Amino acid sequence: MRRDTFLKSLAALAAAGSLPLSAQAAVAVKMMLPANPGGGWDTTGRALGKALQDAGQAASVTYDNKGGAAGAIGLAQFVNGSKGDPNAMMVMGAVMLGGIITGKPPVNLTQATPLARLTSEYNVFVLPANSPFKNMAEVIAQLKKDPGSVKWGGGSRGSTEHIAAAMIAREVGVDPSKINYVAFRGGGEAISAILGGNVTVGGSGFSEFAEYISTGKMKPIGVTSGQRLKGVDVPTLKEQGINVEIGNWRGVYGAPGITKPQRDALVAMLEKATKSKAWAEALQKNDWTPAWLAGDAFGEFVDQEFASLRATMVKSGMV
């Protein structure tokens, strides 16, 4: 067979998703990051891109940040612009489910292809260094006195920190619909608002605040985990008599309309990436907990999470 004919045959097989994984390696991956730079999805997507390259699964990775509406704007662009693209991926997570529940966008996750859950992380609530409050108990006392005077800052409406703030209010006897929640389009904006004292309490994944906590610019006052995080001396909400526990997981979806072999190839690429040195370093650096779940099992998990989150948000007066 002539070389040019052979190469054309390879290209046709690759487009159909029929090549063995070894021959499909080192593709040009397009990564949708449905948030502004500096947040959890941005950090996760870029760490994943590095891991894909480190594992020899991607020759290159291009990133497209499209923040807003808890990821719904990025989701819409991904769904409408990536149909059938076997090299397109989108980072997403629990926050996107909450945004879909509250915002009711015209697009939905069911239009894309579930690939894998990657990590799990709990939220930490922090005070700016110059806060007049010293701990969560003082914040709660003020919340009970005047709910609107306590500004909770975090991700988009429906994010896990928004849900957690509403759950905290409900648990301490405050009407959740009266909380003053300030939503930010990206982690960088939220961090600036907290450091500037423009919000009373900030909430996000521990990794996003770790640098500022370690330098004393933020004071952690509670985490949403069931037990204290390993190596982190911050009391849980439950320890402080507030019966709230909620996690924040992150995962990856593929484009709408890809074939099962194409989906399986992407899952295999992701699995190899999560076994790379680069990914191990990202887990350690960001205090992420591995939470691998792939394919149909991941799709079923998302469906269950959606139903559970919706029930929690209805109870908390957010829907």
- Domain ranges for the chain: 28-111+254-286, 120-238
pLDDT higher than threshold 60 for residue 144: yes
Q: What are phi and psi of 238, to 5 degrees?
A: -60, -40
Tokens of 60: 């290159």
Residue range 90-113: average pLDDT?
A: 92
- Radius of gyration of the CA atoms of the chain, in A: 21
In the chain, the percentage of residues whose pLDDT exceeds 90 is 70
Cα–Cα distance measured from residue 287 to residue 270, given in angstroms and rounded to the nearest whole number:
20
Cα–Cα distance measured from residue 44 to residue 66, given in angstroms and rounded to the nearest whole number:
15
**For residue range 179-192, what is the model confidence (pLDDT) as tens digits?**
999 998 767 888 99
3-state secondary structure of 27: strand
Q: Provide CB contacts within 8 A for 181, sequence distance 6+.
A: 151, 152, 153, 154, 157, 162, 165, 166
Higher pLDDT, 166 or 158: 166
Tell whether pTM > 0.85: no
The pLDDT, as a whole number, for residue 150 is 98
Q: What is the CATH number of domain 120-238?
A: 3.40.190.10
Helix axes 187-195, 40-54, angle to 10 degrees: 130
Cα–Cα distance measured from residue 123 to residue 98, given in angstroms and rounded to the nearest whole number:
15
Residue range 90-97: average pLDDT?
A: 94
**For residue range 216-255, what is the model confidence (pLDDT) as tens digits?**
999 999 999 989 988 788 999 999 999 999 988 999 999 9
In the chain, the percentage of residues whose pLDDT exceeds 70 is 92
The pLDDT, as a whole number, for residue 103 is 87
**For residue range 193-226, what is the model confidence (pLDDT) as tens digits?**
999 999 999 999 888 898 999 999 999 999 999 8
CA proximity to 133, closest of 218, 209, 211, 227: 218
User: Residue 283's pLDDT band (boundaries 50, 70, 90)?
Assistant: very high
Element (H or E) spanning 29, and its range?
strand 27-33
Q: Is there a shared CATH topology between the 28-111+254-286 domain and the 120-238 domain?
A: yes
3-state secondary structure of 116: strand
- Residue 274 Cα distances to 118, 130, 180, 281, angstroms: 8, 40, 39, 10
For tokens 């952690």, the residue is 220
Tokens of 126: 């922090």
The pLDDT, as a whole number, for residue 6 is 43
The pLDDT, as a whole number, for residue 184 is 86
Return the CATH number of 28-111+254-286, one of 3.40.190.150, 3.40.30.10, 3.30.830.10, 3.40.50.300: 3.40.190.150
User: Residue 170's pLDDT band (boundaries 50, 70, 90)?
Assistant: very high
CA proximity to 317, closest of 204, 203, 171: 171
Cα–Cα distance measured from residue 26 to residue 166, given in angstroms and rounded to the nearest whole number:
45
**For residue range 4-39, what is the model confidence (pLDDT) as tens digits?**
444 444 444 444 444 444 444 579 999 999 998 887
